[in-house]
Structure 1
Amino acid sequence: MPLTLGSGRRHDRQILRLALPAFGALVAEPLFLLTDTVIVSRLPAPALGAVGVASTVLSLLVGLCVFLAYGTTAAVARQIGAGNTRQAIRQGVDGLWLAAGVGLAIIVVVWPLAPWLVHLIGAEGELFRQAVTYLRISLLGVPAMLLVLAGTGVLRGMQDTRTPLLVSVGSFTLNAVLNVVFVLGLGWGVAGSAWGTVLAQSLAAAVYLALIFGRQRAPLRPDLAGIRAAGSAGIALVIRTACLQAVLLIAAGVATRMGEDQIAAHTIATRIWTLLALALDAIAIAGQAITGRALGAGDVAGTREATWRMVVWGIGSGVVLGLLVVVARPFVPAVFDANPFVTGELLDLLWVVAVLQPIAGVVFVLDGVLIGAGDQRYLAWAGVWTTLAYLPASLLVIVSGGGLVMLWMALGVWMVARMITLGLRAYGTRWLVIGA
């Protein structure tokens, strides 16, 4: 859809106002987690490995609960657009109660299963013992972590991405300080690292609760019907997220079958992909907030214009990120101290990573737009179908004895399938449901 110069600039300002702080909040977490890794790495082995094993389980659990942020953002933004500020806060509170309930349920279910889950990953001996310790202590912080996700969603839905940035930076800074004190100062080992994270997450959750129940004067009483509605909408997003996780796990499994050097190169490429995804995800978060508010206000034309503008931003950002990968490509292996074989594999992979960035830009943006529109059911089905499209491509890699480049080309098939399914939906009108 063609835009006038004035409307284009207006959308640009709105996108940047939301996306830039969101990007800062997204980047803050991995940077401070990296600080935790550096601190724990000073402990005798197998401390670092134990944290890595436990973090694998925690990342999977929290990743499946990201719907608490995304679904809440969409619901609150739509009510804000419709002018129903009180109802927006009410839906935000429903999301917070759901987060608390899911967090407590995770503790009850996963605590007794912790040894089995750690053993399933392959940990034994002292590695097993320390991993179970870290996982069980960290589980105590899961309700707070999920409250942070829901609280972030509330503020994003209210078009505020700056406050989540400040809370994110503050909590992860506190996390780093507590890790130094508990791990290095008091000598608590991996347990100290876990307790530092739990306390930092709990303080962040308390800040969000104070902002929402204090500044916004939200009702504290839970609304069971609203919580059930939020949970029902979240199921579709869980399916979508599970499909994404499944594809990445399959890719890691195929790379592992190829050998130690191949999985090392694949892991480095995946870390780079994840870092680049943070920039694109910031635009997607802006898409959630902008789309929800515009549809809530009944502005279909404005929604279309903003969507097209965000797609342009996604493509442009993807091109820039792809070029940065090409420029940085010769220097990346040295940063990770890669051996000659890993270096050769990685240099080939980075070409594929670079080429896929513009496609990823479109996929991330349209995913955010449709989440903002509340089109979760379609996203769940699209996740299933695109995963099914990926499976034959990954199987072909195994059967043909293909290498890492072929594996990442299979991931490219998956990304193209996602772009097609999301693009067809966005081109149509069924997702353009207006009103509160």
Structure 2
Amino acid sequence: MTDTSSNRVPAREVWRLAVPALGVLAAEPLYVLVDTAVVGHLGALPLAGLALGGTLLSLVSTQLTFLSYGTTARTARLYGAGRRDEAVREGTQATWLAVAVGLLVLLVGQLLAEPVALAMSGDEAVAERTVTWLRIALCGAPMILVTMAGNGWMRGVQDAVRPLRYVLAGNALSAVLCPVLVYPVGWGLAGSAVANVVAQAVSASLFLLALVREGGLVRPNPKVMRAQLRLGRDLVLRSLAFQACFVSATSVAARTSTEAVGAHQVVWQLWTFLSLVLDSVAIAAQSLVGAALGANNSPRARGIAAQIVIYGLVFGCVLAVVFAAAYPVLPHAFTTDAGVLGTIPHAWWFFVALQPVAGVVFALDGVLLGAGDATFLRNATVGSAVLGYLPLIWVSLALGWGLVGIWTGLTLFMVLRLTFVVLRWRSGRWAVEGTEGSVRT
């Protein structure tokens, strides 16, 4: 397979999409940090309630990212085919689906909030605070999903700036509102949840207004929504595989020692943050590859894929060098505990060495998602989890390997994923032209 420079895009086109996407990805974690800092001054119980409630809400939204990634894949093909109006209407169908699923999440969440919070915390006082926050915050669930759908269709039509403005507008207002509601108004933890809902309402309203202005608000189309759900099914199962791995890793670390779970938390948060950085390149790949295939130009899609892989590899290598150099200083910014600091190296060098691998894997994830190759990605992720990560980390618990075992498991998981996606990329079977965006394995 050969790719000439004529089949690639100017680097500025990639970064024009990637940089705003990074801003959108980083906005929510930054807002959570502000929220945590505000609630943290209320005491340990409210903070624990926020932590557990936020985790539960995040788990729900994480499982429904198909409303963003799947919508990008489908709208990008229509956009590439010169059918921008249809691409926007595809975004409308994703928005209808987001509202329907969001209302279902809201209803089920209200019913299950108390038993789930109690089961996860094992403490009635913590569960009470969790339920207080979660039941209010769940009112924003439909709006969270509308924002996801809005991000999806706008990325598909290669409009990366408006989503950033909309998300920042909501989060900025909420970051100002949160301390006011928590302290002077006196709503405490509930004020944090209300501010969260306000953020989601503002962002979702801006995305809805954009649909109205584009003339894209049309009636629900069950046929289109069923097609979106079929793509979503594969992405949800893929997300479940990720969650099973990451929850298992934290559980094994917690059962190893207090120092191990603390060290794992520090390194894992850095891994998560860098995943967002690398994922911004993958989002650019989704838009560009989907558009090329929609334009019936598979050579261009392959050329863009090769280009994105190089960017991902170089980006990953740069991050590896930076964090290797930062090792003497950076861990001390997260903890002063001597035991935790002494345990961090057991995970740190795995984390550093995996950055180039992650750069290529995330880049190719974006390429294959842009091609609508969700079934393959589901199978590759589940296979890597079942064959590599999950067995190894639980064996590491039995044999007392600690963090070395956990991060060896993550390494095997990433290497297996790398093998699968590189083979798929080289095969060219993902580069199916047309506007349907359906790849069969």
Q: 2:315 aligns with which of 314, 317, 324?
A: 317
**Corresponding residue number in structure 2 for 1:111:** 110
The answer to whether residue 20 in structure 2 is matched with residue 28 in structure 1 is no
Q: CA deviation at 1:256?
A: 0.9
Do the aligned partners of 2:285 and 2:305 also contact (CA within 8 Å) in 1? yes
Amino acid at match of 1:54: G
Whole-Å separation in 1 of the counterparts to 2:120 and 2:304: 44
- Distance in 2 separating the partners of 1:32 and 1:205: 16
**SS state at 2:344 partner:** helix
Number of the residue aligned with 1:381: 379
The equivalent of 1:81 in structure 2 is 80
Name the CA distance, whole Å, in 2 between partners of 1:13 and 1:4: 18
1:348 offset after TM fit, Å? Answer: 3.2
Contact 1:57/1:117, CA 8 A, preserved across alignment: no
Corresponding position of 2:41:
42
CA–CA separation in structure 2 for the residues paired with 1:212 and 1:159 = 15
5+ residue gaps, structure 1, are none
Query: Could you tell me whether the CA contact under 8 Å between 1:11 and 1:306 is conserved in 2?
Result: no
1:195: Cα distance to partner? 0.4
> Distance in 2 between the 1:428 and 1:128 partners?
50
Q: How big is each residue's C-alpha offset from its partner over 1:346-395, in whole Å with a ceiling of 9 and x where there is no partner?
A: 13321110000000011101111111101111111112211112222223
Amino acid of the residue matched to residue 275 of structure 1? Answer: F
Unaligned 5+ segments in structure 2 are 436-441
Partner Cα distance (2:92, 2:148) in 1? 12
The residue number in structure 1 matching 2:61 is 62
Q: Secondary structure at the match of 2:133?
A: helix
Conservation of the 8 A alpha-carbon contact between 2:140 and 2:201? yes
CA distance in 1, matches of 2:291, 2:206: 25
- Specify the SS of the correspondent of 2:328: helix
Cα separation, 2, equivalents of 1:364 and 1:202: 30
Q: Quick check: 353-362 or 171-180, which moved more?
A: 171-180
Matches within 5 A, 1:122-271: 122-214=121-213, 216-271=214-269
User: 2:13 corresponds to which letter in structure 1?
Assistant: Q
The RMSD of aligned alpha carbons is: 1.4
Contact 1:349 1:405 in 2 (8 A): yes
Aligned to 2:299: 301
User: In the alignment, is the contact (CA less than 8 A) between 2:260 and 2:340 conserved in 1?
Assistant: yes
Q: Tell me by how many angstroms 1:137 deviates.
A: 0.5
Q: 1:329 aligns with which of 320, 327, 345?
A: 327
| Partner deviation per Cα, 1:37-56 (whole Å, 9 max, x = no partner) | 11111113311111001111
Between 217-226 and 130-139, report the one with greater CA deviation: 217-226
Counterpart of 1:408 in structure 2 is 407
Report how many residues are paired: 434
| Deviations, residues 35-78 of structure 1 (Å, cap 9, x unaligned) | 11111111133111110011111111000011100000010000
Aligned to 2:349: 351
Partner residue of 1:100?
99
Runs (4+) of structure 1 exceeding 6 A deviation are: none
Residue 364 (structure 1) aligned with residue 342 (structure 2): no
**Distance in 1, Cα, partners of 2:301 & 2:50:** 44
Letter of the 1:229 counterpart: A
Offset of 1:228 from its aligned partner?
1.5
In the TM superposition, residue 213 of structure 1 has moved relative to its aligned partner by: 1.8
Q: State the match for 1:287 in structure 2.
A: 285
CA distance in 2, matches of 1:388, 1:3: 34
What is the Cα deviation at residue 167 of structure 1? 1.4
Letter in 1 for 2:273: L
Distance 1:287 1:430 in 2: 17
Is residue 7–residue 301 contact of structure 2 (8 Å, CA) maintained in 1? no
Deviation digits for residues 78-97 of structure 1 (CA, Å, limit 9, x no counterpart): 00011112221221111101
> Quick check: 340-349 or 297-306, which moved more?
340-349
- Tell me by how many angstroms 1:400 deviates: 2.0
Structure 1 pair 227/3, CA: closer, same or farther in 2 (3 Å)? closer
How many Å apart are 1:189 and its aligned residue?
0.8
TM-score (norm 1): 0.97
**Residue 221 of structure 1: SS of its match in structure 2?**
coil
The residue aligned with 1:427 is 426
Amino acid at match of 2:109: V
Q: Distance in 1 between matches of 2:139 and 2:122?
A: 22
2: CA distance between counterparts of 1:143 and 1:223? 19
Q: For the Cα contact (< 8 Å) 1:118–1:128, is it kept in 2?
A: yes
Partner AA of 1:72 in structure 2:
T
Taking the aligned partners of 1:43 and 1:51, their CA distance within structure 2 comes to 11
Determine the C-alpha separation between the residues in 2 that align with 1:222 and 1:344. Answer: 57
CA–CA separation in structure 2 for the residues paired with 1:373 and 1:338: 46
Q: Distance in 1 between matches of 2:81 and 2:341?
A: 54
Instruction: Choose 346-355 or 151-160, whichever is displaced more.
Output: 346-355
Q: 1:5: Cα distance to partner? A: 5.7
- Using a 3 Å threshold, how does the CA distance of structure 1 residues 233 and 7 change in structure 2: closer, same or farther? closer
User: Which AA in structure 1 matches 2:328?
Assistant: P
Query: Whole-Å Cα distance in 1 between the matches of residues 24 and 140 of structure 2?
Result: 19
Confirm or deny: 8 A CA contact 2:90 2:224 kept in the other structure: yes
In 1, are the aligned partners of 2:49 and 2:127 still within 8 Å (CA)? yes
- Of stretches 84-93 and 63-72 in structure 1, the one that deviates more from structure 2 is 84-93
> What TM-score, normalized by structure 2, do the two folds share?
0.96
| CA–CA distance in structure 1, aligned partners of residues 326 and 144 of structure 2 | 34
- How far the C-alpha of 1:333 sits from its partner, in A, is 2.5
